[in-house]
Structure 1
């Protein structure tokens, strides 16, 4: 079940036409409209592009900012996410893509993640990401132990 992106208390009944966040009442809409950032439609999907997220090409380095991240996953482990057939299959689901857009575009990432984690499809996606990263972490740890 989703919760209001503004008050984080009620079940949302409405969606902002500009940014697509969900809210529960006129009061929440009035609080939200002053900080509303309109949702930009993604560029049309190029079927020739071989990209796990079906958007413009990006690299992991584009997402990493030293000052923003304190607990990092090594780049080589993150790159495994883009090579996963299981993740690509999950990302074919339009509902999951919409959930990811909602989390990415939310004012409160914490609240958006909390709401998204109530969706079994999002939990499956998160678990698959962790499985890929953690399995690689275990193999890196065992390889490092072999080197000693």
Structure 2
């Protein structure tokens, strides 16, 4: 699934505490640490506020900015994903959950997605997501009501 962000050859076992890249061996860590750039978390997505209490939870709208993506799915269609029993059933699979987590944690998300698309379970998950969103898109385009 994932490869070491330093040597690009082996499966990573470790994560740099400062910048969160994944690496496979002590040798790779030693090569990496000279060029390590610590990552600062964005303040808008912090789990806790500066006063130590919980902050307002972030929402999908916080992540969707008009200029971010050309092919953007409207929020109403994205919300259909959360209402799908079929999608919830697929998400019960622990292998898929680990796979999604590894994509989310990957340094290079494009490479992680390409690797995931070789997994039949991930293809089934992504096809189900597209089916839900596209069915709504097709119904809206033709004027049909669901």
Cα displacement (A) at 1:91 = 1.2
How does 1:104-123 map onto structure 2 within 5 Å? 104-123=104-123
- The aligned residue for residue 77 of structure 1 is 77
Cα distance in structure 2, aligned partners of 1:8 and 1:118: 22
- The aligned residue for residue 52 of structure 2 is none
- The aligned residue for residue 15 of structure 1 is 13
Structure showing greater radius of gyration is 2
Relative contact order, higher structure (CA 8 A, sep 6+): 1
C-alpha change, 1:117 and 1:35, in structure 2 (3 Å) is farther
C-alpha change, 1:90 and 1:31, in structure 2 (3 Å) is farther
Cα distance in structure 2, aligned partners of 1:67 and 1:77: 19
Unaligned segments of structure 1, at least 5 residues: 38-42, 44-56
Cα displacement (A) at 1:132 = 0.6
Unaligned segments of structure 2, at least 5 residues: 40-46, 48-56
